[in-house]
Amino acid sequence: MRRTILLSAILLGAIFTACQEENIKTFDKEYIMFEDTLNVVPVLDEEDYTIKIPVISSVKCDYERTIAVEVLDIPGTMDSVAVEGRDYTIESNTIRIPAGKYRTDIVIRPNYEMFGDNDTLSFELKLVMPEQLCWDMYGDRTRVSMYKVCPFDINSFKGWCVVTSMFLYSYPGVDDSNASYQRLIKTSLDPANENTVILHDWLFDGYDVKIELDPSDPENPTVTMPEDQLISDEESVFGQMNGDNRILGMSSPAYVSYYNNCQKFVSLWMRAYVYDIKTLVGYVGDFYNVMEWVSDEEAERLQSENGW
């Protein structure tokens, strides 16, 4: 759910140059466009909450520029179509780039109550302007996809949990004849550490790990797995010892791990590694894991149908 940044990087670099060295002409032509062709944005339950969609120009002018904004239908989208006036409103269908400025914003006010927990509601915007202002490389349109962010509740992440792990897919264990890359586990809250969840028997029986949920930025709810979490012994997973017979795990620094309070899941990238006493023997790799919290009834059904 990250926005495309190529265009932004190109233009911001050009704008920075223009601001620092006014005598250098970066663009020969004036173009006006959306900063991104795709905007995936959260919707929070906050008073006067707004979404801002940036519109930028390749040059600044000594006069104000006015541009109309049109809402378009989205044919063939996998998302649900957001309805203007019901799911959101646009503060103004006319935007103005002030004199001496490179950018402005389209301001959108989403209607939080119209979003279901699993909804992604989308619409497209088009800049209505003279054809010569449109840069063919990027066009004059952008898609806005909005998703709901529920208030944080750590209690959503305790109880039964279905684990889907690419580590288990790659290393199911040498003695498990019914190996699966999915497990049903129990989780609980760590009484000693705020916003910390204990995953009991996470990937292998007898090995609990902890994850920490950070709700400080509702728009970017992140998850971390503290360093040196013991996942399993080496012999039962690899069939041999490469170090001190411990497989350790931590959050992968190469990928972002996050949680969704509405849908009650955690997306965790884990880096697995092995030590010999205090010396790093090597990295096993980075592995994607998803934890989905389910009701007691759903857990009972899964146990009955899958033998978990």
Mean pLDDT of 49-61: 96
Mean pLDDT of 142-156: 95
pLDDT band at 66 (very low <50, low <70, confident <90, very high): very high
Pairwise CA distance, residues 161 & 152, whole Å: 18
155 has a pLDDT exceeding 80: yes
Q: For residue 24, what are its two tokens? A: 């250098």
CA distances from 129 to 124, 201, 215, 264 (A): 16, 60, 41, 44
pLDDT band at 308 (very low <50, low <70, confident <90, very high): confident
User: What is the reported pLDDT for 18?
Assistant: 39
DSSP state of 22: T
> Residue 99: what residue type?
A
Mean pLDDT of 243-256: 97
User: What is the reported pLDDT for 10?
Assistant: 38
Pairwise CA distance, residues 124 & 71, whole Å: 6
User: What is the reported pLDDT for 278?
Assistant: 85
pLDDT band at 73 (very low <50, low <70, confident <90, very high): confident
76 has a pLDDT exceeding 70: no
Mean pLDDT of 130-136: 94
Using the structure block, give the residue that is written with the tokens 């994850």. Answer: 211
pLDDT band at 14 (very low <50, low <70, confident <90, very high): very low
> Residue 302: what residue type?
L
Query: Considering only 97-101, 111-115, 172-176, 211-215, which range has the smallest mean pLDDT?
Result: 172-176
Q: For residue 142, what are its two tokens? A: 């952008």
3-state secondary structure string across 126-178: EEECCHHHCCCCCCCEEEEEEEECCCCCHHHHCEEEEEEEHHHHHCCCCCCCC
Pairing of strands 38-43, 141-148: parallel
DSSP state of 32: E
Cβ contact 258:221 at 8 Å: yes
Say which residues have a Cβ less than 8 Å from residue 238's Cβ, sequence separation at least 6. Answer: 171, 174, 247
- Rounded to the nearest 5°, which phi and psi values hold at 129? -155, 170
Pairwise CA distance, residues 23 & 192, whole Å: 60
253 has a pLDDT exceeding 60: yes
Query: Considering only 9-18, 72-81, 204-213, 256-265, which range has the smallest mean pLDDT?
Result: 9-18
DSSP H helices, the chain, are: 6-20, 166-170, 235-238, 296-306
Using the structure block, give the residue that is written with the tokens 């389910």. Answer: 294
pLDDT band at 306 (very low <50, low <70, confident <90, very high): confident
CA distances from 18 to 21, 22, 195 (A): 5, 5, 46
Q: For residue 202, what are its two tokens? A: 């996470």
Pairwise CA distance, residues 254 & 174, whole Å: 29
* Percentage of the residues of the chain whose pLDDT score is greater than 70: 88
Q: In the chain, what is the straight-line distance between the N-terminal and C-terminal CA atoms, in Å? A: 32
Alpha carbon 179 to chain centroid distance? 30
Q: For residue 87, what are its two tokens? A: 């799911």
Q: What b/e string do you get for 74-96 counting C-beta neighbours within 10 Å, with b at 16 or more? A: beeeeebebeeeebbebeeeebe
Q: For residue 52, what are its two tokens? A: 């801002």
pLDDT band at 50 (very low <50, low <70, confident <90, very high): very high
Taking CA 238 as the corner, what is the angle to CA 233 and CA 232, rounded to the nearest 5 degrees?
Answer: 20
